[in-house]
Amino acid sequence: MEQPILEPEMTKEYKKRLRESRKRLRSGRLAKKEAYWGLVFIVPWIVGALIFLAYPLLTSFWYALNNIRITPVGKNFTLVGYGNFTQILLSDAEFPVQLVDYILSTVISVPIIVVFAMLIAMMLNQNIRGRGFFRLIFFLPVIIVSGPILGMLTEQGAGSVSAVDTQAIASAISSVLPSIIAEPISDIFANLVTILWYSGVQILIFLSGLQKIDKSMYEAAKIDGGSGWECFWKITLPNLKSMTLLNTVYTIVLISTNSQNPIIELIKSSMFSGTKEKGYGYASAMAWLYSVVALLIVGLFALILTNRKDAYDRQAQKNRKLRRKEQKIKLKLERRSERNAAIIAKKRAQGKITSHRTDSGGY
């Protein structure tokens, strides 16, 4: 029995598909090789995260569930469950007050630092003389003011505004707001210099974001009659949205881990306390509560900054969904045509179809 002869068009199509399948096979092998070497390069980071991050977190949580006493023979663990947490929230007279003050001061000071850093970055991004020198001045506190130096400057009053200058502001705030809110706001105005010292890294991040914005966008907006205020709201601020979120998270972490934070000092004093109720377990429970509150503040600011989308983002997302839908339909039609072509070729090879299909659809 003679073998059926494939048509020239079918032979070309077969060769084309064979080449495409070989390309996909080579690309698949290359992707697997790249994934393998990528995994090899991140293995040291994974090992370091497990040893220096995951293990200390689990250990501190286990400490928080126990009452730990230091004895000459080692640590003595007494399981108390959530007793440390309930004692902190219900019996401790100092930690909840400090925690509320931390929440209010962080919620108020973070927008001040981020907005200040954005304004300074926009000014330093201008074409002015001595621009590098001014950038150095604003970043210098990040290098100098750290650890013991910050403590010494704070004790000498270098990081705060004089009481004479802030007395009128504090009295005005106290007359309008309740004391639980007025006191943190007054402390922020009193320590405004120290707060603005924390804006050096944020200024650099905003500068990098401003320098990536295409200048032709501003030129096109000015040609269309857009003012500087409109350019800021329509071009600058949307392009700095991701940088704003990054700086917000960085500022919260910086304030929360500051050595001058009274909650951290309270956790240290509880850790080395000689009383029966406190100790390593009590301090670990404090640290976990403090960490959860800090994460909630980060989530709150992230929700505020990422919830709203402008019209361009919504239209771009709609277009992406439409393109994905069109690609799925196109892929479905291609697969259907390939199946039909394979069925017709099989029938021709079996001799069930002996003539070509005409334009009118008959055989």
Q: Give the tokens for residue 9.
A: 């068009």
Q: Assess whether 213 and 172 both reside in one domain.
A: yes
pLDDT, tens digit (0-9, with 9 covering 90-100), for 198-246: 788 888 899 989 888 888 888 888 888 888 888 888 888 888 888 999 9
In a 13 Å sphere around the CA of 219, the CA atoms on its Cβ side amount to 4
Residue 311 banded pLDDT, cuts 50, 70, 90: low
Q: Assess whether 171 and 255 both reside in one domain.
A: yes
* CA 258 – CA 335 distance, rounded (Å): 60
* CA 239 – CA 213 distance, rounded (Å): 7
Beta bridge partners of residue 71, listed in sequence order: 74
Is residue 80 assigned to a domain? no
Task: Summarize the confidence of residues 255-264 as an average pLDDT.
Answer: 84
Question: What pLDDT does 291 receive?
Answer: 93
Q: Is 7 a residue whose pLDDT tops 50?
A: no
Is residue 138 assigned to a domain? yes
Q: Assess whether 151 and 171 both reside in one domain.
A: yes
* CA 263 – CA 285 distance, rounded (Å): 13
pLDDT, tens digit (0-9, with 9 covering 90-100), for 33-71: 777 888 889 999 999 999 999 999 999 999 999 988 877
Q: Assess whether 283 and 315 both reside in one domain.
A: no
Residue 190 banded pLDDT, cuts 50, 70, 90: low
Q: Assess whether 148 and 202 both reside in one domain.
A: yes
Each as own residue / partner, the long-range contacts of residues 308-312 (CB below 8 Å, 24 or more positions apart, any chain) are: 310/238, 312/238
Mean pLDDT of the chain: 79
Is residue 70 assigned to a domain? no
Q: Which of 26, 44, 64 is the C-terminal boundary of a domain?
A: 64
Task: Summarize the confidence of residues 108-131 as an average pLDDT.
Answer: 86
The number of distinct structural domains making up the chain is: 3
Q: Assess whether 99 and 232 both reside in one domain.
A: yes
Are 88 and 292 a contacting pair, CB within 8 Å?
A: no
Residue 310 banded pLDDT, cuts 50, 70, 90: low
Question: What pLDDT does 288 receive?
Answer: 93
Is residue 197 assigned to a domain? yes
**Cα-based angle 47, 48, 54 (whole degrees, multiple of 5):** 90
Q: Assess whether 284 and 333 both reside in one domain.
A: no
* CA 30 – CA 339 distance, rounded (Å): 29
Domain that holds residue 140: 93-308
Question: What pLDDT does 164 receive?
Answer: 47
* CA 185 – CA 199 distance, rounded (Å): 19
What is the share, in percent, of the chain residues with pLDDT greater than 90?
Answer: 14
Residue with the bigger pLDDT between 253 and 132: it is 253
Question: What pLDDT does 101 receive?
Answer: 86
- Residue 188, number of CB atoms within 10 A of its CB: 17
Q: Assess whether 20 and 141 both reside in one domain.
A: no
Task: Summarize the confidence of residues 303-307 as an average pLDDT.
Answer: 81
Q: Assess whether 301 and 335 both reside in one domain.
A: no
What's 295's domain CATH number?
1.10.3720.10
Is residue 3 assigned to a domain? no
